[in-house]
Amino acid sequence: MDSSPQRPRREVRPTDQPPEGATHKNARPVLSFTAKRRGKAPSHLADLDGAGRKRILKDMGFPPFRADQLSRQYFAHFEADPARMSDIPAGMHEAVAHALLPRLVTKVVSLEADGGRTIKDLWRLYDGAQVESVLMRYPQRTTLCVSSQAGCGMACPFCATGQMGLTRNLSTAEIIDQVRAAHASCRDGALAGGPTSLSNVVFMGMGEPLANYKTVVGALHRLVDPAPEGFGMSARNITVSTVGLVPAIRKLAGERMPVTLAVSLHAPDDDLRDDLIPINSRWKVGELLDAARGYFLATGRRVSIEYALIKDMNDQEWRAQLLADELNRRGHGWVHVNPIPLNPTPGSIWTASTRRAQDAFVRRLREGGIATSIRDTRGSDIDGACGQLATAHAEGTRCVSLRKEKR
């Protein structure tokens, strides 16, 4: 039996190299809540509730009942072109297209992975800003990951989007039109396996959803309200992620909408999280977990803890134990941990944990009584992490795997 002492594991820190995608060696993450662009997207049917849509049509001289017809076409039939709506008179098409159904998102490129079960789309917005969405088919569900901002101001150093900075917030309709397009893609059999139905939406694309609070809550209503108000999806199949905007978490709990809250924690100790997640300089781990526990108590929805496992940085067993202790200190059965293998970045400190470290981390959590499951990652071969496709397209890379849309 080998009695020689074990060598301590190497530990890297977020400050050991510039942030992922940084353009100079002295770059440091900089938090920002101020958008580079302040332009407002054109008003759209999906920005308004039913009464607002009827009011717009009445002001245009059209019967208010047309609002329900337009809404059903959009939310139930996933149609956005008035000229293709059989129950809308031709004389209304141009006016309605301008006032209520302007084109907000235009597909730039699509990438397929996982045998056609994953499609990642890059969208151009009305002002040229770009965002991404990912449509994923699983055996029991079909999920869309949507963006809520163009870029992101949270500056997490391992995230491609975080290094873009915040370009601007998306409007409610710009978020919802990503969902409408995904519904249509599912219906039309764009994913391998034939036609299906979109069942789940996760706000885990570009941006910090709770930094665009009012707009995201509006989008949540359009997702869950029944037609003609919205898509009529189950709130329990919708997830909103956050890196830890504590006041906004408390506010969302007060909305009494039973959507799932996902907290991007990535470190259980303030010493590491201060550098890894810059917003931790404002709201510490304890405050964040207290707010997450409060969300569970207010909604009855179990909270997800997202934890990207980064080699030799946050994947030590003692951190798994600390995480279990912090969660158990606030009760049992209120939380579920999703360790996420980071997309590998050769030659960088931002790379995936070894399988041995991953298994040990998960085992320690489960031994501590914490419900834990490894996140099923998708699209690592197509710039799957949010922000990677937009960056690659802007730089003209990966052109072989881009499937250009016909215009």
For residue 402, pLDDT over 50 is answered with no
CA distances from 69 to 45, 64, 66, 85, 95 (A): 12, 10, 5, 9, 15
Looking at per-residue pLDDT, the higher value among 350 and 210 belongs to 210
What pLDDT sits at residue 390? 56
Determine whether the annotation assigns residue 331 to a binding site: no
Average pLDDT, whole number, for the chain? Answer: 90
Name the DSSP letter for residue 352. B
Q: Which residues are catalytic?
A: 132, 386
Q: Is the pLDDT of residue 208 over 60?
A: yes
Average pLDDT over residues 50-60: 96
Tell me, what's the pLDDT at 392? 52
* 404 or 338, which is more confident: 338
What's the pLDDT score for residue 403? 33
Q: Is 208 annotated as a binding residue?
A: yes
CB 202, CB 138: distance < 8 Å: no
* Residue 2, pLDDT above cutoff 50: no
For residues 346 and 357, the model is more confident at 357
Res. 400: pLDDT tops 50: no
Per-residue confidence (pLDDT) for residue 375, from 0 to 100:
81
Task: Establish whether 159 is an annotated binding residue.
Answer: yes
Residue 117 has pLDDT above 90, yes or no: yes
Q: Give pLDDT tens digits for 34-44.
A: 888 778 899 99
> Does residue 345 register a pLDDT over 50?
yes
CA dihedral over 375, 230, 44, 187, signed as positive or negative: positive
Residue 304: which pLDDT band, with cuts at 50, 70 and 90?
A: very high
Position 88 scores a pLDDT of: 96
Q: pLDDT digits over 347-373, tens only?
A: 789 999 999 999 999 999 999 999 999
pLDDT category at 9 given cuts 50, 70, 90 is confident
343 is in an annotated binding site: yes
Reported as a pLDDT band with limits 50, 70 and 90, residue 287 is very high
152 is in an annotated binding site: yes
Is 256 a residue whose pLDDT tops 70?
yes
Indicate the burial class of 109 (C-beta count within 10 angstroms; 0-12, 13-18, 19 or more).
Answer: buried
Tell whether residue 111 is among the known ligand binding residues.
Answer: no
Segment among 114-118, 262-266, 301-305, 344-348 with least mean pLDDT: 344-348
pLDDT score of 44: 98
Q: How many CB atoms lie within 10 A of CB 328?
A: 14
pLDDT confidence of residue 163: 80
Tell me: pLDDT of 8 over 90. Answer: no
166 among annotated binding-site residues: no
Mean pLDDT confidence for 1-25: 73
The answer to whether 162 touches 19, Cβ cutoff 8 Å, is: yes
Average pLDDT over residues 207-229: 97
Give the pLDDT of residue 404.
Answer: 33
pLDDT at position 269 is 98
Say which amino acid occupies 384: G
Q: Look at strands 118-125 and 105-113 and give their pairing.
A: antiparallel
Task: Look at 37-46, 241-250, 306-315 and tell me which has the smallest mean pLDDT.
Answer: 37-46
Does 336 carry a binding-site annotation?
no
Structure tokens that stand for 84 in this block: 């293709």
**Is 98 known to sit in a ligand binding site?**
no
Distance CA 166, CA 30 (A): 11
Task: Give the pLDDT of residue 397.
Answer: 40
Q: Is 207 annotated to bind ligand?
A: yes
Yes or no: say if 132 and 387 are a contact pair by the CB < 8 Å rule: yes
In this predicted structure, what is the pLDDT of residue 17? 87
